[in-house]
Structure 1
Amino acid sequence: KVADFEGRECLEAFLAQMRITYDTPTTDLANLPKEGPFITVSNHAYGALDGIILMHLVSEERPDLKVIVNYLLSRIRPLQNFFLPVNAFEKNVGSRSSIAGIRLAKESLQKGNPLGLFPAGEVSHIGPSGQVEDLPWHTAIVKFIMNAGVPVVPIYFEGHNSARFLRRAKIHPMLQTASLPAEVLNKKGRRLSVRVGAPISVAEQQRYTDYKELGDYLRARTYALIANIDNKDKYKEPEHAAPIAPPKYHELAVREIEQLPSRNCLFSINNFEAYFAPYSLIPNLMYEIGRKREESFRTVGEGTYQSLDLDTYDRNYHHLVLWDSEKKMIVGAYRIGMGAELMKRFGVMGFYNNTLFKFGPGFEPVLRQSLELGRAFISQEYRYETIPMMLLFKGLFHIMLRNEEYRYFIGPVSISSWYPKLYQSLIYKYIMEHHSTMEYHECIHSRTPFTPDFGLVNPDVLLRDIQTPEQLDRLLMRMSNRQYRLPYLVKRYLKLNSKVVLFNIDAGFNDSLDGFIVCDVPEIPKEELMMV
């Protein structure tokens, strides 16, 4: 019997008897401080089951955990060592039971114990958004957190109670309360997902002098953890995926590089050499470029899923190739369209980007002065090195200096479809608010527009203090437990003062999200030019 056990053993016996399990990555568990006081804040998805799982999850490393529960739950004798009783049903937060409970909570934190809180005070139900969510978090609890001066760890419980429960909750609160025991029983045999976020430091909390703003931020950080619940299917290769082509023509490719005229060599630094050449001079090397493109893009959830990433545009474009002269292999490459040449030969139809974004006549003057960039990659053998991408950018500027009739870099910068929709949406919102331009809106249109979706997260709350790409990068890393960050090329182009006109979903590139950038070279900050 469950009642025969006490403390954590009681929790384990209950979960075993109910055959209820939950998944929480070990990287998430590492977010729980091993010592010292902290507070957990959680959405109240199910009711009593949330508290049981919270106690089980945290107490494995921190058996000194205390959880604030209502008076009725505090009567469960085997778990009383975990409980700090506060009457959550009491409307008057100044009641004796509430005051006593808050005093006990302060004393517990002062002793160095962690404290578990469900700031809504009662189980989630259908909110104004039409989605199941917490009630507004209690002001008294948020004020308590603000004054506590300890790290706060957000914990998210995925899911919600049954439709029957949600209907009853709308009729009367007493019906909701009466239905809660049945909601525990109907979870029998279920596997639930629980995510633990990075601790929100005291310094980060102190950015908020208003308790409502702090409460909104803690709530947003909690609900944002839904993005970390992976949809495993998205990592599967599409059914039409072809095996990546095997290496061949290596000797012919090496010979093509060695026989290029000296004018095609942009620079040489140690064993790295940068070349700029049309397709016609490097047809065998292009096979290896197409192979390595596909290999590189697939590792981040992009790519064509053909055996080679080559298309008809490659034949009409030039190619910037970074070559390792010692290892005789491709380090990385860019595909570059010479705008004036493409306009003269093909008009706007000659631009690859016209397949993603519809260019109108008003954009033609810019196209004639543009180098169209795309298909940038670093070979897998060099993907952890920082120098190769810097050298590719150095090559871009060398090309621009050699062709003074050009003024702009244009092209797509992609965010993989592997990024959760919330993170894509936050990046989109930040860019459109800080790095967009209305100058070309009348002459460029997305062929497959992107619609952001923030779910139950208020994006304005999360992005309130985010003013730079580096700040957004750090926020994404904190929220995702370092699984996601601002893509390198996005960050790099933004630092060059590039403007993003609009976004498009690229169905031919595994549904990656593409932002169309326009970089006016005279507007690039001098310090960025000095770096290359």
Structure 2
Amino acid sequence: MKKLIETKDLRKVFGEKSIVGFFLAPALMKLMKLDKINKLYDKVADFEGRECLEAFLAEMRITYDTPSLDLANLPKEGSFITVSNHAYGALDGIILMHLVSEERPDLKVIVNYLLSRIRPLQNFFLPVNAFDKNVSSRSSIAGIRLAKECLQKGNPLGLFPAGEVSHIGPSGLVEDIPWHTAIVKFIMNAGVPVVPIYFEGHNSVRFLRRAKIHPMLQTASLPAEVLNKKGRRLSVRVGSPISVAEQQRYTDYKELGDYLRARTYALAANIENKDKFKEPEHAAPIAPPKKHELAVREVEQLPSRNCLFDINNFAAYFAPYSLIPNLMYEIGRKREEAFRTVGEGTYQPLDLDTFDRNYYHLVLWDSEKKAIVGAYRIGMGAELMKRFGVMGFYNNTLFKFGPGLEPILWQSMELGRAFISQEYRYETIPMLLLFKGLFHIMLRNEEYRYFIGPVSISSWYPKLYQSLIYKYIMEHHSTMDYQGCIGARNPFTPDFGLVDPDVLLRDIQTPEQLDRLLMRMSNRQYRLPSLVKRYLKLNSKIVLFNIDKEFNDSLDGFIVCDVLEIPKEELMMVTKDISDFSIIEKRFGKPLTR
């Protein structure tokens, strides 16, 4: 029988001539489950390299899921370094080798004592762990030289920067100890891309308790932790490579280490609960189309004053509900259809409510196809205040409007329910034309100065990404001007898990930078919502956030956009069709040059 650990190896721990070790070692073999580890090893020891990894995973019936998008992040050629959290202490090393070696069989890894004894995997290992605190300085120098040579030859190098298995940290959560300074310095000097790899989960509660008592108990319990993962399915996520240029933004090794660690733990956000993408149990089918010819007739019979502009095949109309009741049915359908595709919506047959009847509607219409391209719901604040007071505002159902906000409400157009029909959602022009429509309405109504309303972030967004967006906005695009005037009915509490948000957001100063960060972190699955980005470009302030329980738990930010504070270039973009720009200069208080 081929053995990984023998009784004589344990006796060496106590000393070659120790009587205690002579009698205690056999008992420890059983207590530490090393006898069972040896039986497992015997079953896979005749395989070599990747075949040994395959045999081990098959024997243990261990599987793991990694999306194909993640696997594509592993460079096909050239050297790179992987950094991973050490969730399991041994199993994660085996999975790392199996995952990376499928594309890069030239992988080298620095591993712990237990793994280093697996002879069939020796071609993956560097002979000396240069970063082991128990290794002599001479051996450490030699090991670092070998690691550098590995990268110079174009090999990938796998590292677990903590150097030991995760345990309960100061946060009360299971996490790595601080990553070794020597490893981070090595990475900083290596000058190669770094690929973060995250292993979900952790060892058993029993193991974690023993680890808190003494490090020796932690080490002694590791073999049993390998065995108790039998039959498990684990989740592993691979992040986008962190380029050398991105690393060079950090001149301090601690800051670089913190960033690499944050990018690694942030990958936990990409392990999603598939159930959240299912429609709620109360979801009703979207209402079928009907009365289309009546809706078309309503549009064609609108007075010319209701047409804001007509560009190519797109026309923008601004009308009250009373003039377009049949068109509103189709708008209710299209709203619900558009919102459901991004995890929002009422999950009723139509997204229509009592506010629609008291509001105006900006409708972008395809004159050729006789179809709704998109729409906005707009409440004229002065009218609503005269008729209903603050109760006439839809936003008062999401946020608590105080008396101090009333002067703003009188001068505000309340925006909401913005959507682009599914047939046009991949086109950029429709949203620009809707915003052009908003400014045409503002030009016609000089008593108004503000756009207010909610902007949504879908509940489909992982909590980490919602929290990062929230933190960035509250630090860069919020205001204290309305403090005490408005409150959230269902406040949002950010949750960053094991990620330090200040580390990730350190260099993020613009919406575009945040957008790129979210795309990198999520493998292009998530980005800053386009409507959020659009409002921020207008220099809007987002005062606070609220969870909309009636809209599938969407996260809503309350925006206040002062049209006198809109950047000149944004004004010019949406008023190109107006030849006399002195009208625009007078209305928006800015000198413009074309």
Do the aligned residues in 2 keep the contact of 1:266 with 1:276 (CA within 8 Å)? Answer: yes
Higher deviation after alignment, 82-91 or 453-462: 82-91
Separation in 1 of the partners of 2:398 and 2:113? 60
1:504 matched residue in structure 2: 546
Note the alpha carbon deviations across 1:443-479, whole angstroms, 9 max, x for none: 1000000000000000000000000000000000000
Do the aligned residues in 2 keep the contact of 1:34 with 1:61 (CA within 8 Å)? Answer: yes
Do the aligned residues in 1 keep the contact of 2:262 with 2:500 (CA within 8 Å)? Answer: yes
Separation in 2 of the partners of 1:136 and 1:86? 22
Separation in 1 of the partners of 2:383 and 2:423? 34
Higher deviation after alignment, 83-92 or 12-21: 83-92
Please say if 1:380 is aligned against 2:418: no
Question: Closer, same or farther in 2 for the Cα pair 1:69/1:97, shift >3 Å?
Answer: farther
Q: Secondary structure at the match of 2:220?
A: helix
Do the aligned residues in 2 keep the contact of 1:416 with 1:512 (CA within 8 Å)? Answer: yes
Separation in 1 of the partners of 2:132 and 2:416? 62
Question: Closer, same or farther in 2 for the Cα pair 1:316/1:24, shift >3 Å?
Answer: same
Do the aligned residues in 1 keep the contact of 2:90 with 2:114 (CA within 8 Å)? Answer: no
Select the residue among 301, 308, 329 that pairs with 2:371: 329
Taking the TM superposition and a 5 Å limit, the aligned residue runs for 1:202-221 are: 202-221=244-263
Q: CA deviation at 1:378?
A: 0.2
Q: CA deviation at 1:92?
A: 6.0
Do the aligned residues in 2 keep the contact of 1:2 with 1:10 (CA within 8 Å)? Answer: yes
Question: Closer, same or farther in 2 for the Cα pair 1:93/1:219, shift >3 Å?
Answer: farther
1:183 matched residue in structure 2: 225
Higher deviation after alignment, 70-79 or 261-270: 70-79
Of structures 1 and 2, the one with the larger relative CO (CA 8 A, separation 6+) is: 1
Note the alpha carbon deviations across 1:260-313, whole angstroms, 9 max, x for none: 000000000000000000000000000000000000000000000000000000
Question: Closer, same or farther in 2 for the Cα pair 1:67/1:43, shift >3 Å?
Answer: same
Separation in 1 of the partners of 2:59 and 2:512? 48
Q: CA deviation at 1:347?
A: 0.0
Do the aligned residues in 2 keep the contact of 1:70 with 1:85 (CA within 8 Å)? Answer: no
Do the aligned residues in 1 keep the contact of 2:130 with 2:143 (CA within 8 Å)? Answer: no
Question: Closer, same or farther in 2 for the Cα pair 1:85/1:167, shift >3 Å?
Answer: farther
Separation in 2 of the partners of 1:3 and 1:316? 76
Separation in 2 of the partners of 1:90 and 1:363? 62
Taking the TM superposition and a 5 Å limit, the aligned residue runs for 1:419-498 are: 419-498=461-540
Q: Structure 1: any 5+ residue segments left out of the alignment?
A: none
Separation in 2 of the partners of 1:61 and 1:393? 47
Note the alpha carbon deviations across 1:325-366, whole angstroms, 9 max, x for none: 000010000000000000000000000000000001110010
Separation in 1 of the partners of 2:300 and 2:307? 10
Q: CA deviation at 1:86?
A: 3.6
Please say if 1:92 is aligned against 2:141: no
Do the aligned residues in 1 keep the contact of 2:165 with 2:176 (CA within 8 Å)? Answer: yes
1:5 matched residue in structure 2: 47
Select the residue among 434, 440, 455 that pairs with 1:398: 440
Question: Closer, same or farther in 2 for the Cα pair 1:93/1:275, shift >3 Å?
Answer: farther
Question: Closer, same or farther in 2 for the Cα pair 1:8/1:506, shift >3 Å?
Answer: same
Note the alpha carbon deviations across 1:117-143, whole angstroms, 9 max, x for none: 000000000000000000000000000
Q: CA deviation at 1:441?
A: 1.3
Select the residue among 314, 320, 326 that pairs with 1:272: 314
Question: Closer, same or farther in 2 for the Cα pair 1:345/1:81, shift >3 Å?
Answer: same
Q: Secondary structure at the match of 1:72?
A: helix
Q: CA deviation at 1:74?
A: 2.0
Note the alpha carbon deviations across 1:209-267, whole angstroms, 9 max, x for none: 00000000000000000000011010010000000000001000000000000000000
Note the alpha carbon deviations across 1:179-200, whole angstroms, 9 max, x for none: 0010000000000000000000
Separation in 2 of the partners of 1:73 and 1:258? 75
Note the alpha carbon deviations across 1:5-57, whole angstroms, 9 max, x for none: 00000000000000000000000000000000000000000011010000000
Do the aligned residues in 2 keep the contact of 1:69 with 1:86 (CA within 8 Å)? Answer: no
Separation in 1 of the partners of 2:392 and 2:361? 16
Q: Secondary structure at the match of 1:277?
A: strand
Separation in 2 of the partners of 1:298 and 1:72? 50
Separation in 2 of the partners of 1:306 and 1:267? 33
Q: CA deviation at 1:111?
A: 0.2
Q: CA deviation at 1:93?
A: 6.9
Do the aligned residues in 1 keep the contact of 2:336 with 2:345 (CA within 8 Å)? Answer: yes
Q: CA deviation at 1:69?
A: 1.4
Q: Secondary structure at the match of 1:445?
A: strand
Q: Secondary structure at the match of 2:413?
A: strand
Separation in 1 of the partners of 2:407 and 2:238? 51
Do the aligned residues in 1 keep the contact of 2:200 with 2:236 (CA within 8 Å)? Answer: yes
Separation in 2 of the partners of 1:91 and 1:15? 30
Root mean square deviation, CA, Å: 0.9
TM-score (norm 2): 0.89
2:92 matched residue in structure 1: 50
Q: CA deviation at 1:90?
A: 4.5
Q: CA deviation at 1:98?
A: 2.1
Select the residue among 274, 278, 291 that pairs with 1:232: 274
Q: CA deviation at 1:70?
A: 3.0
Do the aligned residues in 1 keep the contact of 2:108 with 2:158 (CA within 8 Å)? Answer: yes
Q: CA deviation at 1:100?
A: 1.8
Q: CA deviation at 1:76?
A: 1.5
2:344 matched residue in structure 1: 302
Note the alpha carbon deviations across 1:480-501, whole angstroms, 9 max, x for none: 0000000000000000000011
Question: Closer, same or farther in 2 for the Cα pair 1:457/1:241, shift >3 Å?
Answer: same
Question: Closer, same or farther in 2 for the Cα pair 1:109/1:90, shift >3 Å?
Answer: closer
Q: CA deviation at 1:97?
A: 2.7
Do the aligned residues in 2 keep the contact of 1:71 with 1:88 (CA within 8 Å)? Answer: no
Higher deviation after alignment, 72-81 or 396-405: 72-81
Q: CA deviation at 1:99?
A: 1.9
Q: Structure 2: any 5+ residue segments left out of the alignment?
A: 1-42, 575-594
Separation in 2 of the partners of 1:76 and 1:273? 71
Question: Closer, same or farther in 2 for the Cα pair 1:94/1:211, shift >3 Å?
Answer: farther
Do the aligned residues in 2 keep the contact of 1:268 with 1:274 (CA within 8 Å)? Answer: yes
Do the aligned residues in 2 keep the contact of 1:93 with 1:140 (CA within 8 Å)? Answer: no
Q: CA deviation at 1:94?
A: 6.1
Do the aligned residues in 2 keep the contact of 1:69 with 1:88 (CA within 8 Å)? Answer: no
Higher deviation after alignment, 185-194 or 77-86: 77-86
Q: CA deviation at 1:75?
A: 2.5
Identity of aligned residues (%): 92
